[in-house]
Amino acid sequence: MQITTLLIAAATAAVASARIDGIAVPQTIKPGDGFNARILTENYIQSVYDVATAFGVAPGSGFEGSLGTVIGSFYLGPEQSNVLGNITKWVTLPNNTPAGKAVISASFFSLYGAGAAPTIETHNVTITVGDSTSTTYVSSFGGVGS
């Protein structure tokens, strides 16, 4: 009985899948500072091949459907697809970013399932551009943490 349970658990773990479901960045960021942008993942029912991501920043409330000024782009590929836990990417807020409210966005190009159906998803976080970069992170879910 215990061996059967272990075999089922091992088989389930081997086919576990995950997808990107949000981003998190520092709540306050100083222009010119670099920071770790966190790509957040969750369990999912099918495999997802995450191809690439691009991060951008826009002043105020941003522009719907736009990243604004691109601040980083990255290939993700098989090593960073179907993984649970944060994926971090180093990006820098441009020196000329105006103080005040801003939106950091990230778009992800992914291929879903056995048919590799292409999708693009965008996640947004409202931040404050200020005098220092905080260690407190805010996520596209609206949560705050460190």
Q: How is the chain split into domains, by residue range?
A: 17-141
CA trace torsion 32, 89, 68, 77 (10° rounding): 150
Label residue 68 by pLDDT band (50, 70, 90).
Answer: very high
**Mean pLDDT within 4-25:** 65
Burial label for 65, CB within 10 Å (0-12, 13-18, 19+), is exposed
**Mean pLDDT within 98-117:** 96
pLDDT value at residue 11: 41
pLDDT of 7 > 70? The answer is: no
Which of 125, 104, 120, 103 minimizes the C-alpha distance to 52? 120
pLDDT value at residue 143: 60
Please give the Cα distance from 81 to 20 (Å, whole number).
9
For residues 18 and 42, the answer to whether their CB atoms sit within 8 Å is yes
DSSP string, 68-99: -EEEEEEE-TGGGSS--S-EEEEEE--TTPPS
The better pLDDT of the pair 107, 4 is held by: 107
**Mean pLDDT within 94-114:** 97
Q: Which of 18-22, 23-27, 62-66, 73-77 has the lowest mean pLDDT?
A: 62-66
Label residue 56 by pLDDT band (50, 70, 90).
Answer: very high
* pTM listed for this prediction: 0.86
Please give the Cα distance from 1 to 25 (Å, whole number).
46
Domain 17-141, CATH among 2.40.30.10, 2.60.40.1930, 3.40.47.10, 2.40.128.30? 2.60.40.1930
